[in-house]
Amino acid sequence: GAGVSQSPSNKVTEKGKDVELRCDPISGHTALYWYRQSLGQGLEFLIYFQGNSAPDKSGLPSDRFSAERTGGSVSTLTIQRTQQEDSAVYLCASSGAKLNYEQYFGPGTRLTVT
């Protein structure tokens, strides 16, 4: 079946603009994660959605970052007033309902803020 998909694959934006990144998880997966991979910090957790529960936003680096998950499926990560330090690869992963299930990763969105 189809894996996790993300769009766009690449995004170049000017500093100060808002961007939206999209993630389509594997059908039937109730858990969805966003991670960020940047040169200096490695791969870091951003936010976690599980079913209809309130998301765990503990990894979001600032209030310029937000995420939604509509209908328990597609998720959008929004970055407002982008800064150069937001340049990174944003990865989405999904997994089944149990907490120890494997997470399957999408190909990522490479964001460049100029």
Looking at the Cβ atoms of 33 and 65, the one nearer to other proteins is 33
Tell me how crowded residue 107 is: count the other CB atoms within 10 A of its CB: 14
Pick from 30, 106, 111, 113: which binds other proteins (CB under 8 A)?
106
What size, in residues, is the chain? Answer: 114
Extended strands (E) in 3-87: 5-7, 10-13, 19-24, 31-38, 42-50, 65-69, 75-79
Q: Look at residue 70 and give its three-state secondary structure.
A: helix
* Binding characters for other proteins, 43-82, by CB under 8 A (x = yes): xxx--x-x-----x-xx-----------------------
* Binding characters for other proteins, 23-42, by CB under 8 A (x = yes): --------x-x-x------x
Tell me which residue of 88, 103, 6 sits closest to 48, measured CA to CA: 103
Binding site for other proteins (CB under 8 A): 31, 33, 35, 42-45, 48, 50, 56, 58-59, 91, 93, 99-100, 102-108
